[in-house]
């Protein structure tokens, strides 16, 4: 802290950290980050029943080969489905299916056919041994590449063998358009779903304004 009568330049690094800590409150070690995705992971159980569960713990983790990661607790039914089949799909949940996306995350497929209850359509992938959701516009078909036991969650890294997208969510140039997909965003801790915000600037571009100045 700055002491009376001393110029600020005399502050030590420890003083400066004390001042910073007054402004930022420590939340402790937590799996807290904004934003998180809302994805529905599709898999088949041992009897061939299609199942789906919601995950927020996930992200793209490699560009070459293209890979995605989802982290599941062993207690979920999907966990054993993915381990036994070695494949899964990632279905991006959108504003149009917010209720179904939440439902997939609060009911287990162990004793329930979640597709029958929601009326959504599981489609057998031609490429992987897992179902995708016809009504969701953006889907990743994945082969399980690595499994990393972290603690409560186990991270499944899937190699993306194909991306399927509805033509209706492509722009005029054929590029996937996030404003047409309308993906859900999850605010963990608050346990709330949000939609996208507005366009703010171009990636790999707007930062050049700092280089110029
Ligand atoms: C928004 C949301 C995000 C979730 N994220 C995860 C997650 O990342 N990992 C996980 O193990 N469970 C997560 N869950 C809980 C599972 O989706 C839930 O336990 C589900 O019922 C498991 O389904 P299953 O037993 O059919 O596999 C989430 C639930 C919701 C509502």
- With a 6 A CB cut-off, is 56 part of the ligand 1 pocket? yes
Q: How far apart are CA 109 and CA 102, in angstroms?
A: 14
Q: Comparing C-alpha atoms, which of 22, 146, 26 is closest to residue 86?
A: 146
Burial class (CB in 10 A: 0-12, 13-18, 19+), 78: buried
202 pLDDT higher than 70? yes
Average pLDDT value for residue range 85-106: 98
Distance from the alpha carbon of residue 182 to the mean position of ligand 1, in angstroms = 21
How close are the terminal C-alpha atoms of the chain, in Å? Answer: 34
Average pLDDT, the chain: 94
pLDDT of the residue at 2: 47
pLDDT of residue 206: 97
Residue pair 23/75 in contact (Cβ under 8 Å)? The answer is: no
Distance of CA 199 to CAs 78, 92, 202, 203, 206, Å? 35, 20, 9, 11, 12
Ligand 1 near 71 CB (within 6 A): yes
The model's pTM: 0.92
Q: Which of 55, 59, 185 has most ligand 1 atoms within 8 Å of CB, for mutation?
A: 55
Residue 17: pLDDT band by 50, 70, 90 thresholds? Answer: confident
User: Does 38 sit in the ligand 1 pocket, CB within 6 Å?
Assistant: yes
Measured in Å, residue 89 CA sits from the centre of ligand 1 at 15
Confidence of residue 211 (pLDDT cuts 50, 70, 90): very high
Q: Which domains does the chain have, with CATH numbers?
A: 36-212 (2.30.110.10)
């Amino acid at each position: 802290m700055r002491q009376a009568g001393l110029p600020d330049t005399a502050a030590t690094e420890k003083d400066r950290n004390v001042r910073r800590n007054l402004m930022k409150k420590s939340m402790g070690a937590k799996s807290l980050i904004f934003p998180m995705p809302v994805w529905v992971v599709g898999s088949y159980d041992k009897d061939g029943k299609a199942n789906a569960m919601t995950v927020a713990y996930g992200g793209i983790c490699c560009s070459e080969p293209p890979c995605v990661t989802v982290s599941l607790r062993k207690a979920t039914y999907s966990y054993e489905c993915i381990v036994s089949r070695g494949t899964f799909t990632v279905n991006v949940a959108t504003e149009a299916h917010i209720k179904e996306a939440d439902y997939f995350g609060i009911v287990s497929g162990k004793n329930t056919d979640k597709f029958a209850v929601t009326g959504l359509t599981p489609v057998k992938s031609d490429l992987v041994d897992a179902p995708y959701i016809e009504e969701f516009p953006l889907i990743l078909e994945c082969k399980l590449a690595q499994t990393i036991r972290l603690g409560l969650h186990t991270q499944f890294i899937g190699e993306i063998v194909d991306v399927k997208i509805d033509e209706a969510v492509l722009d005029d140039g054929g590029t996937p358009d996030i404003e047409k997909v309308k993906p859900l965003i999850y605010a963990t801790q608050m346990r709330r779903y949000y939609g996208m915000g507005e366009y703010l600037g171009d990636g790999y571009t707007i930062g050049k304004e700092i280089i110029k100045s």
